[in-house]
Amino acid sequence: MAEGKFYITTPIYYPSDKLHIGHAYTTTVADSLARWHRFLGEDVFFLTGSDEHGQKIQRISQEKGMTPNEYVDNIVASFKELWAALNVQFDDFVRTTEDRHHRAVQAVFQHLYDNGDIYKSKYEGWYCTPCETFWVEKKLEEGCCPDCHRPVELVEEESYFFKMGKYSERLLKHIESHPEFIQPETRRNEMVNFIKGGLDDLCVTRTTFDWGVPVPFDDKHVIYVWVDAVTNYITAIGYPEDKDRLAHWWPADVHLVGKEIMRFHTIIWPILLMAIGLPLPKVVFGHGWLLFDSDKMSKSKGNVVDPHQLISEFGVDPIRYFLMREISFGQDGNFNRQALIGRTNSDLANDLGNLLNRSLAMLQKYFDGVVPQPLDEESLDRDLKRVAEAVPEEVAKCLESLDINQALTAIWSLIGRANKYVDESAPWALAKDSANQGRLQTVMYNLIEVQRVAALLVKSFLPETGEKIWSQLGVEEAINEQGFADTGWGGLKPGVMTKKGDPIFPRIDLDEEPSVEVPKRAKAQPAQSSAGKAAGETENVIGIEDFSKVELVVAEVLEAGRVQGADRLLKLQVDIGGETRQIVAGIANHYDPDELLGRRIIVVRNLKPAKLRGEVSEGMLLAASSSDGNCLELLTVSDALAPGSRVR
């Protein structure tokens, strides 16, 4: 794998309000990419920050009765808290109010002026304060900003102008010869059309307010906030003073931005860079929006989703996972609570969490928790190994093209393969006969090894989960010291003592979801019996009030064993939702105890305890059997339903 440098940025956010889950989306993706490139062994610099100047911020602080400084300090502190809560590990955070940034912006401006690219004139036109964008009349839509559809204001003031048009041919040529520069492709076409439509000279200073960086040679003017903002990408790496540092990191490898600010990043920013003689960023990727019920999140619509609330409710990794897995990177996607819960239960709690739990429980039982020495490989093992060897490369390939949700899909294909391997190799069946001891060793080794590889692949996206799996696997070396090469098969050392812990993802009980419509209990409708009588007329009929006396709940099998001296009986320890019960059942002819571990069955919770062959049974499980008794199957549900969930 490459050992270069990787410089990635997010937009710097306006401290006009607290950040919502949409802002968290960009930053989480950037953090995962930065972590991945560190994992590849590259020298990584991940930058984020806050865009604190401009008319919008000045007005908001006035409305709040604060100075702009007081106002932004508070909000910027909340940005940093959010990034910490989301496990976002940035290398630098630029505040545009910092001295180093003022110096950079003034140096850029002076450079443009010295080039003869700037002249003083008068601006008369429209301005959208929420977007901090100038508009000519013909671009307005029904008198409003064509981007955010809010009202614009008429502005008339003395301004400096930047001769953008001078660079448009050069920019078009660059875009043509660097197809990777603007991604995805649809946005490239939009930008090319925009440039071909003709670039007006850009108004680059304001005089009707003063919350900004002063023009170095004319302090009546402050520099336009977008020129100020985009410069942050070179402030952080030492512009203008530290030439070596700048040369090491620049050009940026990826600017990650939302699609609505592509114009600033693929037209204005590159032209500014051309004018000051710096190369252009390698890739500007414009991702789609996170929508809420198919509408853009915005404070005024009252549909913003607070990331802190989500993190405290679900934990950080379910949120990170959902954002990156559910939304096709580059396209708009919907934030939806039900989908978040569904993903968490199926992909995290069930596929990933339960695999770990079951495997470590079996390892504990068969090998006292110690990773055994693998012996001869069979074709089943070779197939698992083939997938485990192919997936890391596949993930790397997806991430090279910033296909983040496909990268996660690839990792989950490995986790799916591992789950299938458990069923196919059936360790519980092998454990019945000591003649299979060698085979059992190989199977259990492979099962733990595949999860070591999965933990390494997962950790860039879900850092907390990577660490939790790693610590339960008991691998001695720190996970953060592991690199891409360590994903190679066979890295797990036999003899490692695993440390089974709590399930890494608690399942979310849909019953507790206020937004789920709980169907009202229908009045029992008398059904026609085969004899043509209404059901209510037959003798065995009970009313709904009788049925509802029976409390049926989902239970997870924690332990299972045989009852001495009773061939037909199995003794189970089950979790019925925060309480462990013992259940004795006549199912030994149909199930091996180990086969039941981790299964979700249905039990009667309010049955009077009874003794069976000296063992107390505190409930009864539900099973269906054929009339001759030869076939019996337990009623089970998927892991999406937590222990204790009611069955009605």
Residues that bind ligand MSP (CB under 6 A): 11-14, 22-23, 25-26, 51, 229-230, 257-258, 260-261, 289-290, 296-297
Where do the H-state alpha helices sit in 327-436?
337-343, 355-367, 379-400, 404-425, 427-430
Distance in Å, CB of 333 to ligand MSP, minimum: 9
Amino acid at the residue 102: H
3-class state of residue 159 by DSSP: strand
10 Å CB burial of residue 586 (0-12, 13-18, 19+) is middle
Q: Which is nearer to ligand MSP, 260 or 486 (CB)?
A: 260
| Alpha-carbon span 78 to 307, nearest angstrom | 12
Residue 204 DSSP one-character state: -
How many other β-carbons are positioned within 10 Å of the β-carbon of residue 285?
25
| Alpha-carbon span 387 to 413, nearest angstrom | 9
Q: Which is nearer to ligand MSP, 255 or 571 (CB)?
A: 255
Amino acid at the residue 144: C
Distance in Å, CB of 401 to ligand MSP, minimum: 19
Residue 609 DSSP one-character state: P
Distance in Å, CB of 14 to ligand MSP, minimum: 4
| Alpha-carbon span 284 to 183, nearest angstrom | 6
Q: Which is nearer to ligand MSP, 85 or 607 (CB)?
A: 85
Q: Which is nearer to ligand MSP, 63 or 476 (CB)?
A: 63
Distance in Å, CB of 310 to ligand MSP, minimum: 14
Q: Which is nearer to ligand MSP, 230 or 458 (CB)?
A: 230
Q: Which is nearer to ligand MSP, 52 or 317 (CB)?
A: 52
CA distances from 304 to 72, 135, 149, 155, 298 (A): 20, 27, 18, 31, 6
Q: Which is nearer to ligand MSP, 298 or 437 (CB)?
A: 298
| Alpha-carbon span 453 to 447, nearest angstrom | 10
Distance in Å, CB of 544 to ligand MSP, minimum: 46
Q: In which residue are the tokens 């008398």 written? A: 526
H or E element, residue 575? strand 566-575
Distance in Å, CB of 430 to ligand MSP, minimum: 49
Q: Which residues lie below 8 Å from residue 186, measured CB to CB, with a gap of 6+?
A: none
| Alpha-carbon span 276 to 111, nearest angstrom | 6
| Alpha-carbon span 380 to 374, nearest angstrom | 14
Structure token pair of residue 611: 């003794």
| Alpha-carbon span 11 to 261, nearest angstrom | 9
Q: Which is nearer to ligand MSP, 11 or 318 (CB)?
A: 11
Structure token pair of residue 81: 């808290």
Q: Which residues lie below 8 Å from residue 35, measured CB to CB, with a gap of 6+?
A: 89, 459, 460, 461, 463
Q: Which residues lie below 8 Å from residue 495, measured CB to CB, with a gap of 6+?
A: 370, 371
| Alpha-carbon span 136 to 17, nearest angstrom | 28
Q: Which is nearer to ligand MSP, 296 or 417 (CB)?
A: 296
| Alpha-carbon span 579 to 556, nearest angstrom | 11
Q: Which is nearer to ligand MSP, 260 or 351 (CB)?
A: 260
Distance in Å, CB of 398 to ligand MSP, minimum: 20
Q: Which is nearer to ligand MSP, 297 or 371 (CB)?
A: 297
573 DSSP β-pair partners: 559, 582
Distance in Å, CB of 21 to ligand MSP, minimum: 8
Q: Which is nearer to ligand MSP, 293 or 512 (CB)?
A: 293
Distance in Å, CB of 335 to ligand MSP, minimum: 8
Q: Which residues lie below 8 Å from residue 416, measured CB to CB, with a gap of 6+?
A: 351
Query: Strands across the sheet with 133-135, in order?
Result: 133-135, 118-128, 153-162, 202-203
Q: Which is nearer to ligand MSP, 266 or 425 (CB)?
A: 266
3-class state of residue 626 by DSSP: coil
CA distances from 105 to 112, 253, 267 (A): 11, 21, 18
| Alpha-carbon span 250 to 243, nearest angstrom | 10
Q: Which is nearer to ligand MSP, 330 or 353 (CB)?
A: 330
| Alpha-carbon span 408 to 458, nearest angstrom | 8
Distance in Å, CB of 389 to ligand MSP, minimum: 35
Phi, psi of 636 (to 5 degrees): -130, 160
3-class state of residue 222 by DSSP: strand
